Structure 1
Amino acid sequence: MKYSMKKPNVVFIIADDHRYEAIRSSGNAVVRTPTLDALSAEGTALEGMHIFGGLTGAVCAPSRACVNTGRPIFESMIGSDVSVWEHSVNIRPDVPLMPQTFRDGGYHTYAVGKWHNDKGSFARSFAGGDKLFFYGMSDHDRVPVQPFDPEGRYPQERERISEAFSTELFTDAAVDFIRNHDRERPFYLYVAYTAPHDPRTAPEPYAGMYDPEAIPLPSNFMERHPFDTGDMEVRDEKLARLPRSEAEIRRHIADYYAMITHMDAQIGRVVSALKDQGIYEETIIVYTADHGIAIGQHGLMGKQNVYDHSIRIPFIMRGPGVPQGLRISAPASNIDMFPTLAELCGLRMPSGAGGISFVPLLEGRERLRPVVCTAYRDVQRMVKDGRWKLIRYYHSPVTDTGTDRIQLFDLEADPWETRDVSDDPANEPHIRRLAGELQRWMEEGGDIMKEVPVLPA
């Protein structure tokens, strides 16, 4: 793959709660996402992208840290005690971040929207920004935002409540930056939406776009999950009544799709701004999310689990050096995003990162990871190789929740993860093989659960 001497611009867009399958080009025939579909057709979609995991119910914070550090959460955060909130949010001050590396490499780095990690890591990463949001969530029409602070302190008294809808607010700021940037210097623009996170209150005409009665229920809809996953009382799980009702879940999905379609239209405005400025072809655009979400699948509502609906995320990339119309199913982790973009832009990756550049996948040269794994708190671990998926559940001595057991799914025969086949003696070799891969991953990443046997006694 050849690169031009001029470094490409980068627009890195990350959404909140957008699961992989909720895009038309990913096979969902109901949701409308023309902008993302076009970006996918013009570039590459990595269909096997998964999150590394999270240490608390607010999975978005550690997941975004993994994206921006290229490291496992156990190595990128200031600690890994699941009972300490700061350990899931604050990035170690000695760990270089993706925007920081682009800044050191000559890029003008600019941020818009949500930064759910510590303000110190933000300050060393960005040289500019606007409409900055340092929390996990808010009402979409009352977002507490700040302008860029050259001193990097961002005290709460600088916040102002914006009544513009969050997705439009952040898009306005991104478009303004694109229109006014210095053409002589490459830029790295980080656009972090809070959509389609609840409250799922898309503005008109999007709010009524999807008829709940016409929404098909997913094949793995359940009235309730059959056992304790270790986090059944988290906020997200209380957004719908138990047992889950078909009508209520259809309404939630309709609202979710409305948020996504509205966000897709706003991403279209970013694309149009790049085209208007004549820099679309020299810009790498990335679209991804911090995690997915259940919304009725497996009887769950949130993302505090390791089923595919919660850990598998979209990853679409188009621009210089990116093949057109390519769909890659190979396993990948969100810690791989940083090294990939660094290689595409000719930047030296900081030492110590655990992520792997998947540029060789773009070139069709090799499969990089035999498996991909995910961790959630001290109660769940997951490993999958493309066809077979093993989930390990633990009972947590910290919270006295969770179940000591495993699940095994044949994703080729059962992509919705509805039939646990771990009791079939014929599958014992798959269980042993995947357990060995998971143990290796846990040891290499410094997992807090690495001393506990992967397979229950």
Structure 2
Amino acid sequence: GGMADHTQVPVHDLGVDGRLTEPRFGQSFSTELFADSVIDFLKSQNGTKPFFAYVAFTAPHDPRQPPEPFREQYYRSLPPLPANFLQQHPFDNGMMIGGRDENLGAWPRTEAMVRDQLAEYYGMITHMDEQIGRILQTLRETGQAGNTLVVFTADNGLALGSHGLLGKQSVYEHSMRTPLIIAGPGIPRGKSSQAFTYLFDLFPTLCDVLGIKPPGALAGKSLKPIWEGRQDRVRESVFLPFLDIQRAVRDERWKLIAYPEIGHLQLFDLESDPHELTNLIDDAAQAEHVNRLRKLMTGWQKQMGDTVKLPARNRQPPKIDLTRLKRLPDPWQPEWIVKKYFDVTP
């Protein structure tokens, strides 16, 4: 899966006895292996019965090691820094020291390091996009495109320099927002929506599209009414919990983040501050929004059975300095990444 050398993915064959054969390594880049597999599957379909294919690319998870041409594509003109780039997150959000993702680059973050990692990240995404194109082309060539529903999504976002972070372990927008594209019969072309969505909405959505009665007691909601124009949203707010260390709730404009372990709170006006750089929690003029969002978060906690105790008031968190933190690589990081980004001596 992710967190493995993308050039050393184990490949098993299914033997005639129904057992997996011994793995073979190094046949191709992971993204190409997965695409090749689903293309073979699509070509094997004879059109007599429906099919379902789930393609779980491990890219662009780190190690961020795109094939050389895709890496060089973005090295030639390095991507710009994110608008909310910081050299270091201003406080420990619970994952600064123990979380592996935050150790993938030195503290403080430098512009050069972040732009290089963005280039490698974008290279992996571009390579994956090319492989998805091969899959879609196979659907067209086999005559199945007109009768196939295609869903593209991801399980999380990523910081990569935003707020001084590198990983996904935060409830800022850059980590919580993911792409969701649905295309196929009955789906209007070129229509977009900013409606709040969870990934578990996909199951009832697909059931709705396919005319299948879903089982009862589902937390997810069908998104079909949105693209049909019958609704502009399926929920008014979202609750964003992460372990016991972060909680957030947001509506169309406002977002409240709580860090229960350190008693810190953040309030952001996403309309005027989409990059979440100005914490308004101590602004007396915003007390009404703070109180409303507190009640909203408590309601979500009750609904979800979440017993984490929220801070009663905001406490200023202690400042941290991670510049001397020793960082050692995971065993699956390729040699060139180890030399470039890690402290290689114990």
TM-score, normalized by the shorter chain, greater than 0.5: yes
Matched residue, 1:251 = 116
User: Which amino acid in the other structure matches residue 300 of structure 2?
Assistant: W
Following TM superposition, the consecutive aligned residue runs of length 4 or more in structure 1 with deviations greater than 3 angstroms are 145-154, 157-160, 453-457
* TM superposition shift of 1:198: 1.1
Say if 1:285 and 1:317, in contact at 8 Å, map to a contact too. yes
Matched residue, 2:187 = 322
* TM superposition shift of 1:456: 3.5
Query: CA 1:160–1:211 in structure 2 vs 1: closer, same or farther (change >3 Å)?
Result: closer
* TM superposition shift of 1:214: 3.5
User: Which amino acid in the other structure matches residue 220 of structure 1?
Assistant: N
Matched residue, 2:70 = 206
Say if 1:213 and 1:250, in contact at 8 Å, map to a contact too. no
Q: Give the TM-score, by structure 1 length.
A: 0.65
Which range moved further: 404-413 or 265-274? 404-413
Query: CA 1:148–1:224 in structure 2 vs 1: closer, same or farther (change >3 Å)?
Result: farther
Q: Give the TM-score, by structure 2 length.
A: 0.85
Matched residue, 1:142 = 8
* TM superposition shift of 1:144: 2.2
* TM superposition shift of 1:222: 0.3
Equivalent residue in structure 1 for 2:199, among 327, 334, 355: 334
| Distance in 1, Cα, partners of 2:127 & 2:300 | 38
* TM superposition shift of 1:158: 4.6
Matched residue, 2:306 = 447
Equivalent residue in structure 2 for 1:231, among 88, 95, 98: 95
* TM superposition shift of 1:149: 8.8
Say if 1:287 and 1:314, in contact at 8 Å, map to a contact too. yes
Q: How does 1:149-228 map to 2 (within 5 A)?
A: 158-211=22-75, 214-228=78-92
Query: CA 1:405–1:314 in structure 2 vs 1: closer, same or farther (change >3 Å)?
Result: same
Say if 1:358 and 1:368, in contact at 8 Å, map to a contact too. yes
* TM superposition shift of 1:347: 1.5
Query: CA 1:151–1:293 in structure 2 vs 1: closer, same or farther (change >3 Å)?
Result: farther
Alignment partner of 1:369 is 2:228: no
Say if 2:248 and 2:258, in contact at 8 Å, map to a contact too. yes
| Distance in 2, Cα, partners of 1:148 & 1:323 | 40
User: Which amino acid in the other structure matches residue 404 of structure 1?
Assistant: G
Q: Secondary structure at the match of 1:188?
A: coil
1:312-332 CA-partner distances (Å, limit 9, x unpaired): 100001012212111101111
Query: CA 1:178–1:405 in structure 2 vs 1: closer, same or farther (change >3 Å)?
Result: same
* TM superposition shift of 1:220: 0.5
Q: How does 1:116-135 map to 2 (within 5 A)?
A: 135=1
| Distance in 2, Cα, partners of 1:377 & 1:150 | 44
Q: Secondary structure at the match of 1:442?
A: helix
Equivalent residue in structure 1 for 2:274, among 408, 411, 415: 415
* TM superposition shift of 1:137: 2.5
User: Which amino acid in the other structure matches residue 132 of structure 2?
Assistant: I
Structure number with greater CO (CA < 8 Å, separation at least 6) is 1
| Distance in 1, Cα, partners of 2:286 & 2:18 | 54
| Distance in 2, Cα, partners of 1:428 & 1:153 | 62
Query: CA 1:214–1:203 in structure 2 vs 1: closer, same or farther (change >3 Å)?
Result: closer
* TM superposition shift of 1:151: 10
Matched residue, 1:298 = 163
Q: Secondary structure at the match of 1:430?
A: helix
Matched residue, 1:101 = none
Matched residue, 1:429 = 288
| Distance in 1, Cα, partners of 2:229 & 2:16 | 43
Equivalent residue in structure 1 for 2:254, among 388, 392, 396: 388
Say if 1:337 and 1:355, in contact at 8 Å, map to a contact too. yes
Query: CA 1:308–1:153 in structure 2 vs 1: closer, same or farther (change >3 Å)?
Result: farther
User: Which amino acid in the other structure matches residue 169 of structure 1?
Assistant: L
Q: How does 1:75-94 map to 2 (within 5 A)?
A: none
Q: Secondary structure at the match of 1:287?
A: strand
Alignment partner of 1:268 is 2:144: no
* TM superposition shift of 1:454: 5.9
* TM superposition shift of 1:447: 2.2
| Distance in 2, Cα, partners of 1:302 & 1:214 | 20
Say if 1:145 and 1:159, in contact at 8 Å, map to a contact too. yes
Matched residue, 2:220 = 355
Q: Secondary structure at the match of 1:187?
A: coil
Compare CA radii of gyration and give the structure with the larger one.
2
Say if 1:252 and 1:295, in contact at 8 Å, map to a contact too. yes
Query: CA 1:242–1:190 in structure 2 vs 1: closer, same or farther (change >3 Å)?
Result: same
- Name structure 1 gaps, 5 residues minimum: 1-134, 396-402
User: Which amino acid in the other structure matches residue 303 of structure 2?
Assistant: E
User: Which amino acid in the other structure matches residue 422 of structure 1?
Assistant: I
- Aligned Cα root-mean-square deviation (Å): 2.0
User: Which amino acid in the other structure matches residue 139 of structure 1?
Assistant: D
Say if 1:215 and 1:254, in contact at 8 Å, map to a contact too. yes
User: Which amino acid in the other structure matches residue 136 of structure 2?
Assistant: V
| Distance in 2, Cα, partners of 1:414 & 1:251 | 26
Q: Secondary structure at the match of 1:341?
A: helix
Query: CA 1:170–1:448 in structure 2 vs 1: closer, same or farther (change >3 Å)?
Result: farther
* TM superposition shift of 1:433: 1.6
| Distance in 2, Cα, partners of 1:167 & 1:195 | 7
| Distance in 2, Cα, partners of 1:207 & 1:326 | 32
Matched residue, 2:333 = none
Matched residue, 2:329 = none
Tell me the percent identity.
46
Query: CA 1:151–1:262 in structure 2 vs 1: closer, same or farther (change >3 Å)?
Result: same
* TM superposition shift of 1:212: 6.6
Say if 1:378 and 1:448, in contact at 8 Å, map to a contact too. no
Say if 1:439 and 1:454, in contact at 8 Å, map to a contact too. no
